[in-house]
Amino acid sequence: MSGEKTTVRRKSGALWLVIARGVLLSLVVWTCGAGLLAAVMMSGAVNEANGFPVLLGLTAAAGFAGALSVARHTPWGSLVSAALVAVLFTALLLCVGLLSWKRIAWTGHGGSLLLWAVVGGAAAGLLGRPRAKKRGRRSWR
């Protein structure tokens, strides 16, 4: 027993809770932003023609926020965990869309909305990579 190596495992919460936290954060950011966008559109500050591009940016920002919040907290690496959160957030948006409306135009606004959610998560995965380790300085003798 004394000759065996023991490894120290980093204690963290359950992985599904970490992923669920990221998806929930994405959903909260998207819902609050959509509500704010609806209020601004009702007041007349943003017309209906400009509402959808703002919603696309909001969807990318929501995917980015949720994915970045878990990018370094899983053992799979930042890109894989951020992509997983973005895909789950996209699937959640898809389920809400399918339950709310009978037909979604995938070639029009529906597909681009889902694409921007994944793009936001992928950007978070690329930007959330761990920093490079500092190398020790060599002394030249």
Q: pTM higher than 0.85 for the full model?
A: no
What are the sequence ranges of the domains in the chain? Answer: 15-127
Burial of 39 (0-12, 13-18, 19+ CB in 10 A): exposed
Q: What percent of the chain has pLDDT over 90?
A: 30
Cα–Cα distance between 59 and 31 in angstroms, integer? 10
Round the CA-based radius of gyration of the chain to a whole number and report it. 20
Q: Which two tokens stand for residue 14?
A: 């359950």
The more confident residue out of 66 and 107 is: 66
Please state which of the ranges 2-6, 22-26, 107-111, 126-130 shows the lowest mean pLDDT: 2-6
Q: Which two tokens stand for residue 73?
A: 């907290």
